[in-house]
């Protein structure tokens, strides 16, 4: 599934209609959550049928396309099924009980309620909300895909405007020559990552760099009167600042992940639990700024595209174990050089990256998947997805 995004342009009345459609989608989702809470044994089909009841009782809900209402019900069921899965898995702590949505920024259409122009430069929404025709501007070319391949169309509202996302049913894959190289990655706060070859990539620290501008924008909001137009303008400026930082993080993660995957046949990295790590209030901001999870997600995505092997290893003692003799050498976070009795002296992160690579190769070797045969080695079965236990995912 590919997602192409285009900037949408329209008149103020059309933008107001988009806001109304988003509010209606939020109403349908929250109503489905309420039905599930009140009526025991409510299933997915019951939520789909309840959309017709809402359309009959509320005129503003009837104005939204029927498939868009069903998509909102599917969102509600997605949160419910995730809660059920967490309970079955016995995840400690909060299980993610479905909550009512307060701030909704998107509405999703399925295969009806919209029509793409022949030149693929505009889209028309035909439901009763009155959105009408929106001009599209982007770098992607939709002429390569048929209309029936577009399964979802999503209107997303951001700080700098409205965007249209097209979800296209296509399996992306590219064949490239094997490199015969393997690599282990150790992510950090000082360096973005250090690989097993000793190469270090500097951490850009986008949030730290833009923090001064963010604080100034936040002070402007505090000086404005609540509910005034000037306060709304100041909030929009702050939102654009945060949006720029998030896009910088994504661009950094995509470029580095693509480069790493194309240059190596096997990529090993730590199976970190970021959710638990950010509980340390001293390091939470720096960890979120580094965006380790986003980097991992893109590595796994490009591994599927270029048919590479990715392995997530247990991070326990990767910073303490010696890559030369295997002895545990205890050290604090401030100790940046690994010094062992066997004579091994190297950077702490490089030593950890070598340990990660050796564990990754050991895991793949035991399961018999590490080979240069693309038919049995480079596939989805050998890629460890984020949040999945390694033993369950990496199979022969």
Q: Is the pLDDT of residue 191 over 80?
A: yes
Residues 6+ apart with CB under 8 A from 23: 104
- Check residue 225 and report its DSSP letter: P
- Express each pLDDT in 164-189 by its tens digit: 999 999 888 888 888 888 999 999 88
Q: Do 289 and 187 touch, CB atoms closer than 8 A?
A: no
Window from 23-37, 276-290, 322-336 with minimum mean pLDDT: 322-336
Q: How many CB atoms lie within 10 A of CB 132?
A: 14
What's the rounded Cα separation, in Å, for the pair 97 and 17?
32
Q: Do 299 and 269 touch, CB atoms closer than 8 A?
A: yes
pLDDT of residue 61: 93
- Express each pLDDT in 53-101 by its tens digit: 999 999 999 999 999 999 999 999 999 999 999 999 888 888 889 999 9
- Express each pLDDT in 228-241 by its tens digit: 999 999 999 999 99
Q: Is the pLDDT of residue 377 over 80?
A: no
Residue 260: exposed, middle, or buried by beta-carbon count in 10 A (0-12, 13-18, 19+)? buried
Q: Is the pLDDT of residue 388 over 60?
A: no
**CA-CA-CA-CA dihedral for 264, 265, 268, 273, to nearest 10:** 90
pLDDT of residue 370: 38
Q: What is the mean pLDDT of residues 202-216?
A: 92
Domain boundaries, the chain: 2-168, 182-203+248-393
Higher pLDDT, 137 or 369: 137
Q: Do 321 and 327 touch, CB atoms closer than 8 A?
A: yes
Q: Do 203 and 248 touch, CB atoms closer than 8 A?
A: no
pLDDT of residue 251: 94
pLDDT of residue 18: 94
Higher pLDDT, 28 or 346: 28
- Check residue 388 and report its DSSP letter: S
Question: What is the pLDDT confidence band of residue 365, given thresholds at 50, 70 and 90?
Answer: low
Q: Is the pLDDT of residue 219 over 90?
A: yes
pLDDT of residue 368: 36
**Which pTM does this prediction carry?**
0.82
From the list 98, 121, 103, 104, the residue with the least C-alpha distance to 155 is: 104
């Amino acid at each position: 599934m590919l997602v192409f995004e285009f900037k949408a342009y329209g008149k103020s009345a059309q933008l107001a209609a988009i806001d109304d459609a988003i509010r209606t989608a939020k109403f349908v989702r929250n109503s489905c959550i309420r039905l599930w809470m009140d009526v025991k044994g409510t299933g997915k089909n019951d939520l789909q049928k309840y959309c017709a009841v809402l359309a009959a009782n509320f005129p503003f809900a009837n104005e939204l396309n029927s498939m868009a209402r069903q998509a909102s019900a599917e969102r509600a069921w997605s949160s419910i099924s995730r809660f059920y899965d967490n309970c079955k898995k016995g995840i400690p702590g909060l299980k993610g009980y479905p909550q009512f949505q307060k701030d909704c920024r998107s509405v999703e259409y399925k295969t009806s309620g919209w029509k793409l122009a022949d030149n693929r430069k505009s889209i028309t929404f035909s439901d009763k909300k009155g959105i009408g025709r929106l001009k599209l501007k982007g770098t992607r070319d939709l002429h390569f895909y048929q209309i029936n391949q577009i399964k979802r169309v999503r209107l997303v509202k951001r700080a700098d405007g409205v965007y249209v996302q097209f979800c296209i049913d296509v399996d992306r894959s590219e064949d490239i020559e094997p490199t015969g190289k393997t690599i282990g990655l150790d992510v950090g706060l000082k360096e973005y990552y250090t690989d097993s070859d000793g190469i270090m990539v500097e951490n850009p620290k986008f949030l730290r760099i833009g923090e001064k501008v963010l604080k100034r924008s936040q002070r402007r909001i505090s000086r404005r009167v609540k509910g005034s137009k000037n306060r709304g303008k100041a909030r929009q400026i702050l939102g654009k600042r945060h949006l720029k930082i998030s896009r910088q993080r994504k661009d950094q993660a995509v470029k580095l992940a693509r480069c790493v995957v194309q240059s190596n046949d096997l990529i090993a990295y730590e199976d970190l639990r970021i959710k638990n790590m950010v509980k340390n209030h001293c390091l939470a901001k720096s960890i979120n700024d580094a965006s380790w999870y986003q980097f991992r997600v893109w590595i796994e995505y490009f591994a599927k595209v270029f048919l590479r092997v990715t392995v997530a290893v247990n991070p326990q003692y990767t910073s303490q174990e010696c890559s030369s003799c295997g002895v545990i050498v205890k050290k604090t976070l401030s100790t940046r050089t690994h010094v062992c009795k066997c004579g091994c002296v190297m950077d702490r992160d490089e030593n950890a990256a070598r340990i990660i690579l050796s564990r990754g190769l050991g895991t793949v070797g035991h399961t018999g998947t590490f080979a240069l045969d693309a038919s049995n080695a480079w596939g989805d079965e050998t890629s460890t997805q984020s949040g999945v236990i390694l033993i369950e995912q990496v199979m022969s």
